[in-house]
Structure 1
Amino acid sequence: MMTPDFWVLVAFVIFIGLAVYLGLTKKIVAGLDARSQRISDDLDEARRLREEAQRVLGEYERKRREAEGEAEAIIASAKAEAERLAADAKIKAEEFVARRTRTAETKIQQAEAQAIADVRAAAADAAVSAAGKILKSRASGEIGDALIGHGLQEVRTKLH
């Protein structure tokens, strides 16, 4: 009985007895229960935070998808607008070229008409002058001058 194992057993039994008598077991159990409750509360808080993080992550992913959709829509709209502007610019350039061509053609026609009129006027003046010289050389006197003047006036009127 005097072995160290025996005295360790006796001390342990006395310790357990004192712990029960002094109510240490209730304090130990209460402490363990409090610790268990804190751990449970921490787990609940961690679970709640995880769910909130997942909700926030889902919300941000939804917003990212919406932003990507909006960006794609903006890009598509910009491309369509650029194509429309390019088509408008092409049409305006073609209209400008057509207008310039018509203006140039009109100026050319006017220049041709003016040139023809100038040539006719020069031909008429030359014909009148030649006719006047011929008539003056053949007709003489006051009656001849009157006939020549009248004839030249008539030739000028018909040629112009």
Structure 2
Amino acid sequence: MSDLLMLVAAEAAHGAGAEHAEPAIAGVLNATVIVSISMLVLVGIMLWKKVPALIGSMLDGKIAAIRAQLDEASDLRKEAEALRAEYQGKLAALDGEAAAIRERAEQEASLVVAKAKEDAAALVARRQRMAEDRIAAAERSAIAEVRDTATRAAVAAAQQLIVDGHNAAADKPLVEKAIADIEKI
């Protein structure tokens, strides 16, 4: 900062009494006038070559391109919203279908459980009948065996009694009577 102050002070001391001269052409055309004329010539050339119309048409083209992109974006948004609504509808339908499937599965499961209970009860009843039939068959067999054994014992006892109580002399009148009965027939 001190360097800056020294520079300003030196300028003030050096140029304090003298004015410097501005460059000029023919005494009237100084730098400001020359720059102004140059600008007017430049603007004139730009108007003569129709640069503003060219710039306007380029801007109009850009505006049209941006408008087309906005329209396309709007169309894409509408399509996306339609797809979203469609998929939400499908999702709702799938939720309803899933609930229906779950309900059917629960009903089928309850039917299967009821059928299994019926089958188990029928199996128990059938096995009970089979056991009862086996017991009844075993009882009949035992009764038949007891009768058979009793009959054999009675026959054996009767044979023994007959053998003990009858001899050849006692059997002769019985044999003759049996033969006589046969001859009558």
- Shorter chain as denominator, the TM-score bin is 0.7 to 0.9
62 and 91 in structure 1: CA distance in 2 versus 1, 3 angstrom threshold: same
How does the TM-score come out when normalised to structure 1? 0.73
| 2:161 aligns with one of 134, 138, 141 | 134
After superposition, residues 86-125 of structure 1 pair within 5 angstroms as 86-125=113-152
Higher relative contact order structure (alpha carbons within 8 Å, sequence separation ≥ 6)? 1
Aligned mates of 2:34, 2:107 — CA distance in 1: 96
Structure with the bigger percentage of helix: 1
Structure 2 unmatched runs, 5+: 1-28, 176-185
1:128, distance to aligned residue in structure 2 (A): 3.3
After superposition, residues 33-52 of structure 1 pair within 5 angstroms as 33-52=60-79
Aligned mates of 2:35, 2:118 — CA distance in 1: 108
Same amino acid, percent of matched pairs: 34
Aligned mates of 1:42, 1:57 — CA distance in 2: 22
Aligned mates of 2:35, 2:95 — CA distance in 1: 74
* Root-mean-square deviation (Å): 2.7
Larger radius of gyration: 2
Count of aligned pairs: 146
- TM-superposition CA deviations, 1:26-51 (whole Å, max 9, x none): 11111111111111111111111111
131 and 49 in structure 1: CA distance in 2 versus 1, 3 angstrom threshold: same
13 and 77 in structure 1: CA distance in 2 versus 1, 3 angstrom threshold: farther
131 and 66 in structure 1: CA distance in 2 versus 1, 3 angstrom threshold: same
- TM-superposition CA deviations, 1:136-159 (whole Å, max 9, x none): 43455126766xxxxxxxxxxxxx
Structure 1 unmatched runs, 5+: 147-160
Contact 1:19 / 1:25 at 8 angstroms: preserved in 2?
A: yes
- TM-superposition CA deviations, 1:2-33 (whole Å, max 9, x none): 465x6555544443333223222211111111
